[in-house]
Structure formats: C-alpha cells, structure tokens
Amino acid sequence: MNFIRVAAACPITNVAHINFNIENIKDCINKAIEKNSKLIVFPELSLTSYTCGDLFSQQQLLEKSNLALKRLCLFSKNKDILIAIGAPLVYKNCLYNCAYIIYNGNILGIVPKSHIPNYSEFYEKRWFTEGINIISKTASLPFQKNIPFGVNLLFTCGDFKFGFEVCEDLWTVIPPSSYLSLAGANIIGNLSASNELVSKAKYRKSLIENQSGRSISSYIYSSSGVFESSTDLVFSGHLLIAENGYILEENDRFQRENQVITQLIDIDKLNNERLKNLSFRSYENYLPFEIEEIQFNFSNISLKNFDRFVDKHPFVPSNENERSERCKEIFNIQSSGLAKRLTHTGIDKTVIGISGGLDSTLALLVTIKTFDLLNIPRENIITITMPGFGTTDRTYNNAINLCKKLGTDLREINIVDACLQHFKDINHSVEKHDVTYENVQARERTQILMDISNKEGGLLVGTGDLSELALGWATYNGDHMSMYSVNCSVPKTLVRYLVKYVADTESSEEVSKILIDILDTPVSPELLPKDNGGEISQKTEDIVGPYELHDFFLYYFIRQGATPEKILFLAKHAFKDCYDNETIEKWLDKFIKRFFTQQFKRSALPDGPKVGTISLSPRGDWRMPSDASYAIWR
C-alpha cells in the first residue's frame, strides 16, 4: 500500500529578513517531520519574502539568500523529508523566481517559474525572467555546482513522483503540472504568493480541485502569509492539499503563527485511475519537452499513524445538502432513462412487481416520476403484489397501501398454489427449504410479470440493485431478468437514501409514513416461511453479510482496483467502531467468492442506466469472464 504524508506550510516571515525567515522555515520543517511528512511545500520566495520589490536587484539580498539555502541544506542533513522552498536564482545575468528542491543536505534540482504575471497588481517582470524555456540546464551556487535546472524536472522515489510549479503557472491555459503529470508526477507542489481579494480564495480552491482532478494527482498548494508587505496587497497564507479533484485538507487563512497542514495521499488510488485514462497511455505525444528524472530515496516510508478519513459509505455523500442533490440527480437519470425507453418503444404502460421492500419501492418511485414527466396517467403503471410462503403482513400491507396511495393499477396474484403445483411437477418436497424451493418462487413471480407485460403491452421494470448484482443475490432468469432495470447501478446503501429523499421531500404525509416503515423493514426476499410470530425469518444480511460492508468492498475493488490487503486495511479503519476484524475478514472473503462465481448472471443483464462511477454492465463498465478464478484474491 502506497500512502505518503505530505505537508503545506506557511511560516512567519519578515520582508527581506532572511535570517529571521529561515528560523521559522526550520520550525515548520520540524513540525512536518514530527507528523511523519515526507514532503513539505513552502510559499513562493519564502526565503526572502515575496514582496521585496526592487530589493531583488540588491546583491546583498541575493547573496544572503544563497547563504540561507546553504544553511537549509545543512539543516536538512539526515532528515527524511523532501523540501520545496522558494528563493531567487541568478542564472546567466537573469533573475529567476524558483522552487529549490532539497533532500538530505543537497539541492536535487531547481524549478523556475514558467509564467511571470505582469498585469493588475502584479509586475514581476520588473525583476524576474520567465523560465518556460529552461529545459535540462544546470545551475551553480557557491556551495553546490551543476544543479539540474529546468521546468522539466521530475523527482522520483519509487512510486512517488514529484513535480513542482510556481504560483501563476497554475493560472495558465496549460499549467506545467499538466505536462509533469502526464510524464508520471503523481504529487504536484505549488509554491505560491497569491494575494487576497473578495472571492479569490473560492476561485483559487476551485482551480486546485480542478487541476488535481484533470491531472489525476495530489496537489499541494502553499501561499504567502499575512506578514508579507501590506503596502498595496494582503496575503492570507492559504494552504490546500487536494487529491484527484477533492480538497483533503485546508487551513484557516489569515493566521499569525507558523502554519503546517498535513494529509496522507493514496498513490495506488491515483495510479489506478491513470491506468484507465487514455491520456496517460500516449503521453509522449503531448509533451513539449523531454523529462529529466532525478532519483532519490527516502530512508523510511512506513506509516506511523494512519489518520486519513475513510468513509464507511463511499457511495453516499456525508454532507446532507450534497446528499440531497445527489438523490435528486439520480432520480433524474433513472427517470430520464426509463422515459427514453418508453418513448422509443411507443409503450405507455409498465409492469412492476411490488414486494414492500426497498428495491421495488425505489423502482416504483422512479416509474411514478417518469409517468408524471411524460404526462401518462399513473393507472397505466400496473403494480403486482405476489404473496408467497414467506410474505409477512407488514410487507404485504405496505405494498398494497403504497400502490393505492400512489394511484397505480394494483393487482394481487398469490403464487402459493402455482408453486405447490410446480413442486409436484418437478418432484420436490414442499418441506425441503433449499435453493430450489426459493428459486421456484422467484421464477414464478418473474413469469407472471413477463406474461402480464405481454398481455397488457407493457414494459417490465426491473427492481434489482447494484449490490445484489455484485453478490449475485438474484435468481437467474427470475428477479435477475426484466425489460429495463432502473436500479442496476444503485448500491443498496444509496437505495435507502433515495427512498428517504422521496419520503422527506416529495411525498404526502400518508405516503411518507409508508416509505419510512419500508425503510425500517429488514431486507429480505421473503422466500422462506415466516417465523412463529408471523415475522420475517429470512434476513438477507444474516446470510450474505452487511450491505454496508459489501458496498465498501465493491467501491474499492471496482473503483480503485484495490488489493484485498488494502481493502481489508481500509475497512478495519473505517468500521473499527462497528465490526471486529474477524467479522470484516469473513465477509470480505464471502464478497470475493460470490463476486467471481456469480459473474455469469451479470453477463446476461437487461439494459439499465448508469447513475454513478460504478456499473457492472457487461456492455460497458465491467467485462469479465464468467469462469475467472478468484484464487489469488483470497
């Protein structure tokens, strides 16, 4: 597992007081080391301070800056951390604004700022030269000769590949980090001095999120703080750490002390995303320069403390407003998909089997929304409840009452007699409650639904969800089959929130009450007889395991291509307060076995809309042989 802790820092500075600045820089480095960080990114020109103005043409300032770099190199000896510090560089009678990359006593390379701003409040070209054309040069300082110098430098330690750019570079049409990421950089550092204006922080944050997403990288951003000159501008010391489009860590701006934020970066996750991205397969076609790779080695990359947040429910946004927006969007995708299928086929009727469970309820709610969208009367939705040996009064009444309140064409067909006849036909004892006993009921229900669809000229809407497909928890050619499957890429943990969303926002009080009771009902196919108290005896999660665990396993297995070792590690961290390690290990093993052995069901799925980042459709997202071995995953 390749995790690495990175840091962004904003030290207290005093304009042009280099000795003062370097002491605070050292303090920040020590703080980052205490947290086991392997990279620390400082602001632009933080050694001198950014707002020196014409003092940048003073020999004294430049010489003291070089001396401070030497002191910093000596300080870094035997410290297992990569340091990105901002300072000026004189090269061939030109002054460059640079990122110095230091490790264990040496400057590994110097990266010049590619693009120099010279508009509005910025006038850097008065002092600095653009470094966009500096490719694979060498620069020398009084204490170290022949240092790699250029915008094309990539600093590599195994799977950890670092690239750097400076402030304005991020604001350009094609930032240097785009090229560096294509060449392999999965961690980008930006040394910045971005002043504060109203709403600029929001825009800055958006840029960093987007760049980390486009480049599929971690982006560490550090900007100058409040102790820069305030003659015309104010800086806030904004620190951000992003990963593949999301901000993992952000500080409170305008602080008046040394600031260091850290976060663990998941390199395996980034690299796996890149494997799927076509841009990274033909990167050489895009690069305007040849990359110069600088190798170095950390002495120890083990994790002392894993404190990265791992969401137990990765399919469900934890923020309530975001979750509500997600539910709204999913309903729109599902209903739009079903609407297209109905209008394309010219069908104005649907058939749905209603059990009083979560999945069929969601499928019904989607169908209701679709019919309202198309101005088709709800009575054209034929809802059929088919009580059997295990149907309880609770689920039966919820199914009946929900359909009545929603105004559908409700029909009831008891399957007991038909199943008893079928048991007799195939010579199966009604007392033998095995898989045949269960599947006979599931297939009888599907036969009824298919035949009524034919009879009525309707489209059979499927109800099965993504989690059931992953586990193969469906009867082949039973509930596994339909004419259009609206829930096929919705995981069970999200189904609950979608139903709750309708209960909370789009339902009458009576409908909401029924939906809430459905949400509180144990998940069950109700294919085994009721218990002595008339309650559900067959609870799905007792048999296949908790759906929240399986959805977690599914997310990391499919979305990130994670190894079982990593999935188990993350699951134990995320669910440490919910399940013991033995339980998690047991159900992960069950997930892997069922996922592989049940692929044949997914290879014959009906059409259905993809709503999230994961789908198991054999026509798109997941193409896997039905007879693949799972031996190396256990």
Q: Which residues participate in catalysis according to the annotation?
A: 44, 113, 167
Ligand-binding annotation for 200, yes or no, is: yes
Ligand-binding annotation for 547, yes or no, is: no
Distances (CA, A) of 49 to 41, 114, 142, 200, 229: 15, 19, 21, 21, 9
Collapse the DSSP code of 402 into the 3-class scheme (helix H, G, I; strand E, B; otherwise coil) and give the result. Answer: helix
List, as one string, the DSSP characters of 429-461: -TT--SHHHHHHHHHHHHHHHHHHHHHHT-EEE
- Residues 100 and 103: their CA atoms lie apart, in Å, by 10
- Is residue 292 within 8 A of residue 154, CB to CB? The reply is yes
- Residues 234 and 196: their CA atoms lie apart, in Å, by 6
What is the SS3 string spanning 44-66?
A: CCCCCCHHHHHHHHCHHHHHHHH
- Is residue 225 within 8 A of residue 259, CB to CB? The reply is yes
Ligand-binding annotation for 231, yes or no, is: no
Ligand-binding annotation for 359, yes or no, is: yes
Ligand-binding annotation for 429, yes or no, is: no
Ligand-binding annotation for 475, yes or no, is: yes
Ligand-binding annotation for 358, yes or no, is: yes
Ligand-binding annotation for 534, yes or no, is: no
Ligand-binding annotation for 505, yes or no, is: no
Residues contacting residue 56 through CB under 8 Å, at least 6 positions apart = 48, 62, 88, 95, 127, 128
What is the SS3 string spanning 213-266?
A: HHCCCEEEEEECCCCCCCCCCCECCCEEEEECCEEEEECCCCCCCCEEEEEEEE
Residue 163's Cβ-side half-sphere holds a number of Cα atoms within 13 Å equal to: 28
**Identity (one letter) of the amino acid at 215?**
S
Ligand-binding annotation for 439, yes or no, is: yes
Collapse the DSSP code of 421 into the 3-class scheme (helix H, G, I; strand E, B; otherwise coil) and give the result. Answer: helix
Ligand-binding annotation for 201, yes or no, is: no
Ligand-binding annotation for 360, yes or no, is: yes
Ligand-binding annotation for 353, yes or no, is: yes
- Is residue 379 within 8 A of residue 350, CB to CB? The reply is no
- Residues 179 and 201: their CA atoms lie apart, in Å, by 25
Ligand-binding annotation for 474, yes or no, is: yes
Ligand-binding annotation for 194, yes or no, is: yes
Ligand-binding annotation for 13, yes or no, is: no
Task: Please report, in range form, the residues annotated as the binding site for deamido-NAD(+).
Answer: 439, 468, 473-476, 601
Task: Please report, in range form, the residues annotated as the binding site.
Answer: 119, 194, 200, 353-360, 439, 463, 468, 473-476, 601
Task: Please report, in range form, the residues annotated as the binding site for ATP.
Answer: 353-360, 463
Task: Please report, in range form, the residues annotated as the binding site for L-glutamine.
Answer: 119, 194, 200
